[in-house]
Chains A and B, each alone.
Chain A
Amino acid sequence: MSDASLDAPVLSADGKPLKQSLNQALRKQKIRALILIAPLLVFVMVSFVAPIGSMLMRSVQNTAGVDYIPDLMPNVVASIKDWDPRSGETPPEEVYRGMAIDLAAAFENRSHTQLGRRFNYESPGFSSLFRSAGRPVSRWDLENDGPFKEKFLDLNDDWGNIEYWASIKANSGYYTTSYFLAAFDAERTSEGIRFKDPDQRIYQKLMLRTLGLSLLITFCTLALGYPVAWLLADLPVRTSNLLLILVLLPFWTSLLVRTSAWKILLQDQGVINNFWVWLGFAERLPLINNQTGVIIAMTHILLPFMILPLYSVMKTIPPSYLRAAKSLGASNWTAFWRVYFPQTTAGIGAGALLVFILAVGYFITPELVGGADGTFISNRIYFQFAVSGNWGLAAALGTLMLVVILVLYYIYDKLVGVDNVKLG
């Protein structure tokens, strides 16, 4: 066959290129498939993808309430551009004048407190500064009462603090990096960006703790789940089905109930500690409101997610492999380690991935049994979101978490190969 005939497109009977005919033939099928999944697709887009997208956008949007900062403070934003915080001097009169105009307008809309809250995320103190200035500034005659710098300083000395003005300048655009800086435990000063003091780096600590505990929990579920899955896979189907129901039983109880049960079991006057004391030990074990409690409770709750993929993989390994290995002279351990175990790595991969990703996002269990040193990053995200109202930071932390997981997933894919993972 010549090269030319290899390169020429293959034609179907009616002379059209074969690829084209095939596509036409498949198009109808594709459309039908699309129609079938359309309701779910729309549902997911409207109720999941869009809200999460908009949530993630909040991590960079520079807003107070619903309005963008440059829209709320047009005069300040316009005039502060030319001021250099590193000059060591307070901003020029023009900026103070702009602040007077913008604050007065904001006071009219009752949005000056929101502005205060927004900048309070940057440096504590802004909130009271803005709140207390609102009413006096609204009484000033903006045409004739200048210069405003002195009037502001009369209200509060902090209006002469260069760090405050530097904060305002840094966050005068429609978009801001300050939430992400905060999520990385970094801050912006007049000298530039730097990490906070080590003892104040709460998010790094939380992130590492979340990943570390999740990893530990994954190992615990693997260590406990592997023998169980093997046993299930080895038993006759009837027995194993029965036992499998026991594995699945926890799923029929709400997560909250299971966690509360652990609270009762683990507490100082709980069943486990009473038994401990009954055995003759004097000291009660601190099992709750710490990391131990989180590890115990989450290992138990996540165990089925490890057992099920392991089981489904082990089920497909015929017992003759182990027999063959032994007949070839391998001891029980060698047969297991060199022949059986390598064939279960796909299940281990799937189970570990599932458990780890679920654990990293866990919220209720660390909240209820974690105490101060057992909380996860998700608890902090919740706090920022619901208690502090700092949606921007919550969104930045959430985005960061998502990125970390995706990076870990990528690494995992390179190491294990996600194609090798079997979920059932």
Chain B
Amino acid sequence: MAGSSANDAFVAFERVQKSYDGETLVVKDLNLTMPKGEFLTMLGPSGSGKTTCLMMLAGFETATHGEILLDGKPINNIPPHKRGIGMVFQNYALFPHMTVAENLSFPLEVRKVGKSEREEKVKRALDMVQMGKFGGRRPAQLSGGQQQRIALARALVFEPELVLMDEPLGALDKQLRETLQFEITRLAHDLGITTVYVTHDQTEALTMSDRVAVFDDGRIQQLASPDVLYEQPQNSFVAQFIGENNTMEGVVQEIKGDTCIVKLDGGEVIDAKPVNVTKVGERTRVSIRPERVEFNKDRLQPGAHTLKAEVLEFIYMGDIFRTRLRVAGNEDFVVKTRNAPDQVRLKPGQQIEIGWLPEDCRALDA
């Protein structure tokens, strides 16, 4: 995957399985390789096994089956404290009985770094996260965002090559989250650190990562860069999970190379791009992004199929307009249009016709 073979990969999961209770597999056959310096995000709903994967990499859980390699070497038998992996936890896990500076100094002390070098590195790490003035405070005297900055500095201060972060921003408010998202990516790239980042927030995953691994049901559903993930979801789970998405179900009527014709359950016929349908008569779920729906016939290909739609609701959202339509019996069909000077503002009750470019409508598994 992604061109890098398992040999020169920095982190590699090979056919890893994990079960806690001996009855169900929480992680089923995980294969993943990461080159050095990559920022990879594990994205998925709660309970999909992301934390478990991270904990296996960190050494706090052992894989039931399979092998995890770090820099080419199997690490199954190396205890966590010898792996040299930095970790950032969701609840920060700053030691409450130590000051901020003592917290940062801790990983250096256990590595027997000299006092002056320690102070130097702590200072540099604090400056790096713009917390230089807070060395003498206790964690309890800091806000959530400040605590997470310190936790980040602490995970980086001993210069690990690999850093794991488990929903580090989950407890923060939106604005702070956005600032820190930016800071984390900047730091990771500046320092050239390989990062595995776990989140259930898709915006976070898309904006921060080089690649995103979408988890569901203990498997990676798709591993790709954010743009590919958004524009070319490989299955309906990914299409549903990433971004907003209109779906309709039907049967494949005809496949012609890069396009196919799908007959919806209501009898209407549409153009689509076959993604994981292979033969005529197969059931499929088609997926189309709200911003790729056209209601200006001139922009469609000649001979393109269109659908009749009734406008149910028009919501003005500032930068965009969000219009809800009834299409082929589906009352939650959403169209998003940019607020441009020449943009049409539809009115509830209006009857229109909609269509799309065949490559924007993906015929996925049902």
A residues near B (Cβ < 8 Å) are 318, 320-321, 323-332, 334-335, 338-339, 342-343
Cβ B91 vs Cβ A318 within 8 A: yes
Given A328-B158, A335-B81, A339-B95, do A320 and B106 touch, yes or no (CB 8 Å)?
no
- Taken together as a complex, chains A and B put the C-alpha atoms of A353 and B227 apart, in Å, by 63
The yes or no answer to B86 lying at the interface (CB within 8 A) is yes
Partner of A329, one of B89, B91, B158: B158
B174 is an interface residue with CB less than 8 A from chain A:
no
B260 at the interface (CB under 8 A from A): no
With contacts A320-B93, A321-B95, A339-B95 taken as known, whether A326 is within 8 angstroms of B80 at the C-beta atoms is: yes
B37 vs chain A, min Cβ distance (A): 20
B107 contacts A by Cβ under 8 Å: yes
Q: How far, in whole Å, are A343 and B95 apart by their CA atoms in the complex?
A: 9
Number of B residues contacting the other chain (C-beta, 8 Å)? 26
User: Are B87 and A324 neighbours in the complex by a CB distance under 8 Å?
Assistant: yes
**Contacts A323-B87, A323-B93 given; does A329 touch B110 at CB 8 Å:** yes
Task: Decide yes or no whether B349 CB sits under 8 A from chain A.
Answer: no
User: With contacts A326-B60, A327-B83, A329-B81 known, what are 6 further pairs, Cβ within 8 A?
Assistant: A321-B93, A323-B80, A327-B155, A328-B81, A328-B86, A330-B106
B87 and chain A: residue at smallest CB distance: A327
Chain B residues with Cβ below 8 Å from A318 are 91, 93
Q: How far is the CB of A144 from chain B (nearest CB, A)?
A: 87
B86 touches A327 (CB 8 A): yes
Q: Which B residues lie within 8 Å of A328 (CB)?
A: 81, 86-87, 106-107, 110, 154-155, 158
Name the B residues within 8 Å of A325 (CB-CB): 95, 106
A and B contact pairs by CB, cutoff 8 A, 12 listed: A323-B58, A323-B60, A326-B59, A326-B60, A327-B58, A327-B164, A328-B155, A329-B107, A329-B158, A330-B81, A330-B107, A343-B97
Q: How far is the CA of A15 from the CA of B96 in the complex (A)?
A: 46
Evaluate contact between A342 and B80: CB separation under 8 angstroms.
Answer: no
Contacts of A330 in B (CB 8 A): 81, 106-107, 110
Specify which chain A residues have a CB less than 8 angstroms from the CB of B58 in the assembled complex: 323, 327
In the assembled complex, the Cα of A327 lies from the Cα of B156 at a distance in Å of 11
Which listed residue, B80, B91, B97, B111, touches A327 by the CB 8 Å rule? B80
The answer on a CB contact under 8 Å between A329 and B95 is no
Judge whether B97 and A324 touch: CB under 8 Å.
Answer: no
Contact of B93 among A324, A329, A334, A342 (CB under 8 A): A324
Which chain B residues in 40-97 approach chain A with CB under 8 Å? 58-60, 79-87, 89, 91, 93, 95-97
Q: Which of A318, A323, A327, A339 has the most CB of B within 10 A?
A: A327
B87 and A329 form a contact (CB under 8 A)? no
